[in-house]
Structure 1
Amino acid sequence: MDSAGAFLQVWCLFDPNDHGYIEERHVDEFFRHIVKKLGMTDDLIEDRLQRLRDASVEGRLQIHQVANIFLSEEENFLLLFRRDTPLDNSVEFMRIWRRYDADSSGFISAVELKSFLEDLFEQHNKSITPDKLELYTNTIEDQDPVAEGGVQAQQAQFLYQMKMFDKNQDGHLDLNDMARILSLKENFLLKFEMDSKTGALEGPEVDGFVKDMMELV
């Protein structure tokens, strides 16, 4: 399980009704759980605890504030994406992936991302606004997320973060990276080994992988 998934597991223990915040009185208990779950080193513990206490506003800690303390930029984005639009069916993910990855290369074009996500959300009966979809899928425009303000800052941050799925900035999105947007509860994709040389599923491996996935249904 990645750090975003581990964080969300702990968070749900203290925010079972998904309010998006936890009460300040639970800070110490939450901290003990999160340190154990994430395996934090001793030299970071005191700093993180102080930052956690400082983040409290009116007796509450918001999830985005806490996530910024404990997670990397990439894991933070994955956490917020999964929480905002949870997708939990890996089999349907693969069926839709194959529609776009017709040549079994293990990649889809970045320009196909919008259509891919639209189909994926529709299959999972999830709704997403056109504006938010644009934020998730604009991987071309180059913006500095720090240089903007207000709504523009939020948009720039999403644009910047979505580029993380295109690791080498070649305009192609890897199956393994894209699979990480799924909720880990049913993410069978991450249980399969990637090709040892490239770190990705390619050619016949994709066909074999899809066959294995269909047998899980």
Structure 2
Amino acid sequence: MAYRKVNFLGKYALTNKVNSVDFIKIWSHYDSDGSGYLERRELDNFLVDFISSRHGKELTEEELDGLRNKVMMTADVNRDGKIELGEFANLLSIEENFMKKFSSRKSLSRRDFNEIFMHYDPDGNGFIEGTELLALIRDIMTKVDQRVTLKDLMDYQEVVLSVFDKNTDGRLSRKELGLLLSIQK
């Protein structure tokens, strides 16, 4: 079986917990067909990269088959033969939901708002967009322990952008995020 030479996970310190933005980036990379699920080939690519990045070792076909079977037995909760977004979250060590530390949107201080914005804008370009926005929406939705699928995230992203993206550029500025979070900054 031929695998990519470049290990996508190599840029993530997987010995530590990944943040939600990186989690969504990792998910988006391995869900290469955008189906909302990791099918066998996509899961195999993830597992090969994961083992290589963590242990610096290559998997044999037999080891990959055994690992895939173990993952499916433990992670595929609904037994559909695919790994969905919520199930994938159980495979990676993800930091605690960043939004849980903010008890109420109405009580957010300017400092809290800035902390949220910087967390979800790790590239520092001044906008929350793409996977960053999906991560923010995921954290808002899962703050109350709601199970979320990729379809849910995409649907909510569409709604968020249609309501709060006032200049329709497909991303949220600080002001637009303030509208989403029901505060004025």
User: Into which bin does the TM-score normalised by the smaller protein fall?
Assistant: 0.3 to 0.5
Higher helix share: 1
TM-score, normalised to structure 2's length? 0.36
Larger radius of gyration: 1
